[in-house]
Amino acid sequence: MDQLASLLEGFAVAFTPANLMFLVIGAILGTAVGVLPGLGSAMAVALLLPVTFSLDPTGAFIMFASIYFGGLFGDSTSGILLNTPGNSSAIATTFEGHRMAKSGRAAKALGTSAIGAFIGGMIACTLVVFFSPYIVELARVFGPAEYFALAVFAFVAISAVVADSIVRGLVALGIGFALALVGIDGMSGAERFTMGSPILFDGISIIVITVGLLAIGEVIHVASHIRRTPAPRMALNPEGSPFPSRREWRQVLPAFLRGTAYGVPFGAIPVGGSEVPTFLAYGTEKRLARRRNDPDFGTRGAIQGVAAPEAAGNATAGTAMGALLALGLPTSATAAMMIAAFQQYGMQPGPLLFERSGDLVWPLMASFFLGLVILLIINLPFAAIWAKLLVIPRHYLYAGITVIAMLGVYAIASRPVDLWMALGIGVVGFAMRHYSIPLAPVLIAAILGPMAETQLRRALAVSEGDVGILVSSPLTIALYSVLTATVVLSVIQHSRHSRRRRSAVRELARERV
Amino acid sequence: MTQIEPHTTGSLRVQRLPRWYTGVSEMIIVAGVLLLTVGIVVGSLSAFILIMPLLGWLLASTLLFWVISWAFGSTRPVFDVGVAALMAALIQLAFSAGLGLSLPPGILEGVFSWIN
């Protein structure tokens, strides 16, 4: 029960006024970017990175973590009220949530999603606290070859398994590697892709990449179709009690637990965040509803269909933080941004972090719990106030995003060159959105790529160039075989999906005729 | 089914085309207008980067905010100037007073030193 003692010490640090303030700021910011369409927690963390440079690292990470959780609290609001999910993590919640809102139960849907997010996050964080020392023990035997295998696993999983199209995922991964390679190679001192310009010697800042891809790319993308899409209708007004009744509690509690069960394992696997588990949770609820002949599911909206995906989403965030701290493995875009933040402070997440920076890790873990409580408090009774954010006209929203993106990039080093690079990457991001190439693999590749390269070269240096060292230990063999199995499975699934899609199109065409 | 709605964006407006304009020419005009917004956004960002060191953060970001909100379909350009200036000023205040980071004052340098 070592963990419990460390956690209690962590609570003592997290309860200081300064850290509580960062926690509340993070919770409010996170919920706000979650509620607003077009903004995500990854972008919020990226924009805050230069600003937090002068802060104490514990406070900064407490703020980032509560932004991460807050984003998952807020993202269902616009989905439920407007039928336009604020983030991809809320798509699964939107189906039943918006149906509930249309049948006059908007407040209940919002309340259920907040409680679900809270329960999912709490369970996942508790598991992380108790299992992280064991994961750290496991990770301590990791050598360069194992870390490289882990990175390869992350690359393949995020590009091939999650993306709709494997080719598109690999394209995104390639763009990320290309951006990460620019600069002076740390091991040999060779210039790579700098075109002889000293501006690029330090490489392209990850903040420039993230802000360019996510913020500027999004603004240009919205600009390209703003005249085709009508302005969103007025949001439905959430009225009534957000709390489920006793009968509803009996319905949603098992759904919360089922959702959490999907979310917890997926947070630790690098499949790019919470889209997959939220959809799995939604699918399960749909099947269960059909089995018990629930007439509400798909018509008036069933409360379980909101509860399970929300719990799954925040459970993913909890275990993702665990994987990030204990293994140094980013499993979503926001987690990848937090790795960048750790690097900014000269720390490398992973097993060594628990030894070297225990005074940071445990307060951070304690702040997860405090953050979830604060998020529940600011989300459950005040959902109607957050919904007011949706009244901000789109033109002010995107103009504001543009100005803040420029500010965030300029704050890195006060160089106009960074702004040009962000604009260029923004145009690339627009093209990627246009051709539906996923963005998360770019960030994972850009952040994890250099680490994978270093570990590969270390491993090869130890073995004096013998590639066999990469598959020499049972751990690496296990990782690569799991990877092969997943890839084979996903390829089969992809081909089956596209066959089904093709036949559906054919059927549609036949109906038309 | 292929009816073209009027595409409006503040002062930019393409009316629904007459009936004898069918097919490709409509598509070209619509595509042109759609790309126009993209062009305005990219162009205004480029212009912002160029003039920001000269004009200073306050004026340049006010301009950027105003142009983008106009391109995104705002119909109250005068009111927008106020919103844009307020936003730029708040950021400048928060950064220089709150966080101690300096944003370029540009041609307003004299005014700033006078205020301080």
pLDDT tens over chain A, length 513 residues: 578 888 888 898 888 898 999 999 999 999 998 888 777 888 888 888 877 777 788 888 899 989 989 988 888 888 888 887 777 788 888 888 888 888 888 888 999 999 999 999 999 999 998 888 888 888 788 888 888 988 888 888 777 766 667 888 899 999 999 999 998 887 788 888 888 888 888 888 888 998 999 889 989 988 887 766 665 555 567 777 788 888 888 888 999 999 999 988 888 777 666 778 888 899 889 889 888 888 888 888 888 999 999 999 999 988 988 888 888 888 888 888 888 888 888 888 887 888 888 888 889 999 999 999 999 999 888 877 888 888 888 889 899 999 989 988 988 888 899 999 999 999 999 999 888 888 888 988 998 888 889 889 989 998 888 888 888 888 889 889 988 888 888 788 777 777 776 676 666 566 554
pLDDT digits (tens, 9 = 90+) for B14-67: 444 445 555 565 566 666 666 788 899 999 999 999 999 889 888 999 999 999
Is residue A345 packed enough to be buried (19+ CB in 10 Å), middle (13-18) or exposed (0-12)?
middle
Nearest-Cα distance to chain B for A26, in Å, is 17
Chain A residue with minimum CA distance to B36: A224
Is residue A181 packed enough to be buried (19+ CB in 10 Å), middle (13-18) or exposed (0-12)?
middle
H or E segment and range at residue A322: helix A303-327
| Rounded Cα–Cα distance for residues B14 and B10 (Å) | 11
Token pair recorded at residue A407: 């500010």
Q: Which residue in B1, B48, B72, B79 has the most chain A C-beta atoms within 10 A of its own C-beta, making it the best mutation to test that interface?
A: B72
Residue labelled with tokens 């959809």 = A279
pLDDT of residue A499: 73
CA A85, A86, A92, A96 dihedral sign is negative
pLDDT of residue A336: 85
B95 neighbourhood in chain A, CB within 8 Å: 407, 411
B35 neighbourhood in chain A, CB within 8 Å: 224
B88 neighbourhood in chain A, CB within 8 Å: 403
Q: Which residue in A22, A226, A420, A421 has the most chain B C-beta atoms within 10 A of its own C-beta, making it the best mutation to test that interface?
A: A226
Domain boundaries, chain A: 2-472
pLDDT digits (tens, 9 = 90+) for B73-100: 888 889 999 999 999 988 888 777 766 6
pLDDT of residue B6: 43
| Rounded Cα–Cα distance for residues A120 and A313 (Å) | 7
A54 neighbourhood in chain B, CB within 8 Å: 99-100
What is the pTM for the complete model shown? 0.83
Note whether B45 and B96 are within 8 A (CB): no
| Cα–Cα distance list, A136 to A264, A367, A369, A433 (Å) | 18, 20, 21, 38
Token pair recorded at residue A294: 């629930």
| DSSP conformation letters of A170-198 | HHHHHHHHHHHH-EE-TTT--EES-TT-G
Chain A residue with minimum CA distance to B87: A400
pLDDT digits (tens, 9 = 90+) for A59-100: 888 999 899 899 888 888 888 888 877 777 888 888 888 888
Go through A497-510 and write b for each residue having 16 or more CB atoms within 10 A of its CB, e for each that does not: eeeeeeeeeeeeee
Q: ipTM exceeding 0.90?
A: no
pLDDT of residue A234: 59
Q: Which residue in B16, B55, B68, B74 has the most chain A C-beta atoms within 10 A of its own C-beta, making it the best mutation to test that interface?
A: B68
Average pLDDT, whole number, for chain B? 75
